[in-house]
Amino acid sequence: MRQLPEADPGTPDTRSPSRYLVWVARMQAGRLTMLITFGILWMISRALMPFAVGKTIDEGVAAKDTGGLLLWTGVILGLGAAIALTGLIRHRYAVQNWLAAAYRTIQLTGRKATELGATLPKRLATGEVVAVGNSDVSRIGGALDILGRGSGAILAIIVIAVIMLSTSVQLGLLILLGVPAVMALIAPLFKPLHRRQSAKRELVGALTSRANDIVAGLRVLRGVGGEQSFSETYRAESQRVRQSGVRVERVQSILEAAQYFLPGIFLVLVTWAAARLALSGEVSPGELVAFYGYAVFLVSPMRTLTEMADKLIKANVAAKRVVRILTLEPEISGGGQPEAPSGPMHDPESGTTITPGRLTAIAAATPEEAAEIADRLGRYQMSEVTWGGIALRDVALETVREKILVADNDARIFAGELRRELDPAGLATDEQINDALYAASAADIVEALPDGLASRVAERGRSFSGGQQQRLRLVRALLIDPEVLVLVEPTSAVDAHTEARIAERLRAARDQRTTVVCTTSPLMLDRADRVLYVEDGKVIAEGGHRELLAAEPRYLATVTRGEQ
277-287: average pLDDT: 79
Q: Is the pLDDT of residue 33 over 80?
A: yes
Kindly list the distances between the CA atom of residue 38 and the CA atoms of 88, 91, 147, 376, in Å, as whole numbers in the listed order: 9, 9, 11, 58
Q: Do both 147 and 212 map to the same domain?
A: yes
Higher pLDDT, 480 or 409: 480
Q: Whole-angstrom Cα distance, residue 190 to residue 250?
A: 12
250-277: average pLDDT: 79
- In percent, how much of the chain has pLDDT > 70? 91
Is residue 461 in a domain?
no
- Residue 486 is predicted with a pLDDT of 96
Residues spanned by the domain of 551: 345-411+476-559
Q: Which of 38-42, 303-307, 462-466 shows the highest mean pLDDT? A: 38-42
- Residue 221 is predicted with a pLDDT of 46
Number of domains in the chain: 2
Q: Is the pLDDT of residue 554 over 60?
A: yes
**346 DSSP β-pair partners:** 353, 386
Is residue 433 in a domain?
no
CATH number of the domain that residue 127 is part of: 1.20.1560.10
SS3 154: helix
**391 DSSP β-pair partners:** 386
Over the stretch 55-86, which tens digit does the pLDDT of each residue have?
Answer: 888 888 887 888 888 998 999 999 999 999 99
Q: Do both 112 and 181 map to the same domain?
A: yes
Q: Do both 388 and 513 map to the same domain?
A: yes
Q: Do both 352 and 263 map to the same domain?
A: no
Q: Is the pLDDT of residue 467 over 70?
A: yes
CA 308 remoteness from chain centre = 24
Q: Is the pLDDT of residue 216 over 70?
A: no
- For residue 535, which phi and psi values (nearest 5 degrees)? -140, 135
Q: Do both 278 and 383 map to the same domain?
A: no
- For residue 346, which phi and psi values (nearest 5 degrees)? -135, 130
Tell me 414's DSSP state: P
Is residue 207 in a domain?
yes
CATH number of the domain that residue 493 is part of: 3.40.50.300
Higher pLDDT, 323 or 267: 323
Is residue 457 in a domain?
no
Q: Do both 210 and 321 map to the same domain?
A: yes
Q: Do both 304 and 352 map to the same domain?
A: no
Is residue 280 in a domain?
yes
Q: Whole-angstrom Cα distance, residue 314 to residue 200?
A: 13
The domain boundary, picked from 296, 326, 356, lies at: 326
- Residue 436 is predicted with a pLDDT of 94
SS3 544: coil
Kindly list the distances between the CA atom of residue 169 and the CA atoms of 182, 404, 421, in Å, as whole numbers in the listed order: 20, 79, 73
The domain boundary, picked from 274, 296, 326, lies at: 326
Q: What is the value of pTM for the model shown?
A: 0.66
Is residue 4 in a domain?
no
Flag the least confident range among 102-116, 221-235, 288-302, 328-342: 221-235
CB atoms within 10 A of CB 143: 24
CA 151 remoteness from chain centre = 29
Q: Do both 36 and 67 map to the same domain?
A: yes
Q: Whole-angstrom Cα distance, residue 396 to residue 405?
A: 15
Is residue 421 in a domain?
no
Q: Whole-angstrom Cα distance, residue 472 to residue 469?
A: 5
Over the stretch 102-128, which tens digit does the pLDDT of each residue have?
Answer: 989 988 988 888 777 767 777 776 666
Q: Do both 513 and 402 map to the same domain?
A: yes
By residue count, the chain amounts to: 564
The domain boundary, picked from 297, 326, 355, lies at: 326
Q: Do both 389 and 498 map to the same domain?
A: yes
Alpha helices in 440-544 (DSSP H): 443-447, 466-480, 496-509, 522-525
Name the region of 481 (left: φ>0; alpha: ψ -120 to 50; beta: rest): left
Flag the least confident range among 292-306, 441-455, 522-536: 292-306
SS3 378: coil
SS3 406: strand
Counting Cα atoms < 13 Å in the Cβ hemisphere of 116 gives: 19
Nearest to 176 by CA among 158, 163, 155: 158
Q: Do both 385 and 308 map to the same domain?
A: no
Q: Do both 241 and 356 map to the same domain?
A: no
- Residue 547 is predicted with a pLDDT of 94
DSSP labels for 422-461? H-TTS---HHHHHHHHHHTT-HHHHHTSTTGGGSEEPGGG
Is residue 302 in a domain?
yes
CB 119 within 8 A of CB 76: no
Q: Is the pLDDT of residue 28 over 60?
A: yes
402-418: average pLDDT: 86
Sign of the CA dihedral with 73 first, then 75, 81, and 83 last: negative
- Residue 2 is predicted with a pLDDT of 60
Tell me 392's DSSP state: G
